[in-house]
Amino acid sequence: MRNKFDQQLAQLNHEMIEMGALCEEVIALSSRALTEGNVALAAKVAPLDSEIDHKEREIENLCLKLLLQQQPVARDLRQISAALKMITDMERIGDQAEDIAEIVGFLGGRQAENDGLLKKMAEAVIQMVTESVDAYVKCDIILAKKVLAADDTVDDYFTQVKQSLIGKIAKNPDDGEYALDLLMIAKYFERIGDHATNIAEWVIYSVTGVHKDEITFT
């Protein structure tokens, strides 16, 4: 019985890795479309987001099957519960990458200014997603805490982009709409970082049984 359960948990880990890889791919694709001003590339993001949605449903079904058939307790229960929470954040990551791609479409082939900073933001959030999923599979609290710390870096990048774009609008008010589009893209990258942070927090919960939102009464 336990052997079958362990096999199902291994399958869950495999599915989580696959969903994480799709998230990384969709962020990288939307970022590349942005820096190249490539509308055709941006159009490839939506089908990938649909794959992420499908993967979320598959993992959700697997988790519910494990909960109903195996009736896990303690750490096993936390691991499955955390996965259910994490896939919601991963699905939102896919949505926000698609939002970025849609804005790239509105830019009509214009390459992004500040693309150096935006590229750094994309690379940082991709690493956060990768490491948060790795932390879950490896039950690695130290790696999860590294993800939490990395969110500050992403927030700093967002502040830099915002300040740069404010300066751009002041110099050239006619370009205000374009600057606001780029600001929205930066905000979506920041939100992706927030979702990766949520994933890392659920990893810590799955290992320790404590979530940051819990209040302890003494």
92: which 2 tokens? 């939102």
Burial class (CB in 10 A: 0-12, 13-18, 19+), 41: middle
Check whether 163 has a pLDDT greater than 50: yes
One-letter amino acid for residue 73 of the chain: V
Burial class (CB in 10 A: 0-12, 13-18, 19+), 120: middle
Closest CA to 122 of 43, 49, 32, 198: 32
Q: What is the mean pLDDT of the chain?
A: 92
Residue 89 to residues 109, 160, 182, 191: CA-CA distances in angstroms? Answer: 30, 25, 23, 10
With beta carbons less than 8 A apart as the criterion, state whether 182 and 112 touch. Answer: yes
In eight-state DSSP terms, residue 108 is: T
Express each pLDDT in 32-80 by its tens digit. 999 999 999 999 999 999 999 999 999 999 999 999 998 888 999 999 9
Residue 159 to residues 13, 32, 59, 150: CA-CA distances in angstroms? Answer: 35, 21, 36, 15
Express each pLDDT in 90-138 by its tens digit. 999 999 999 999 999 988 888 776 678 998 999 999 999 999 999 999 9
Closest CA to 5 of 88, 73, 66: 66
Mean pLDDT of 135-153: 96
What pLDDT is attached to residue 1? Answer: 62
pTM of the model: 0.92
Q: Give the distance from CA 36 to its chain's centroid.
A: 22
**Domains of the chain, earliest start first:** 2-208 (1.20.58.220)
Sequence-distant (≥ 6) Cβ neighbours of residue 66 within 8 angstroms: 5, 8, 9, 12, 72, 80
Closest CA to 63 of 41, 38, 86: 86
Sequence-distant (≥ 6) Cβ neighbours of residue 135 within 8 angstroms: 141, 143, 144, 147, 200, 203
Angle between helices 115-138 and 2-36 (to 10 degrees): 180
Q: Cα separation of 152 and 129, whole Å?
A: 15
With beta carbons less than 8 A apart as the criterion, state whether 110 and 178 touch. Answer: yes
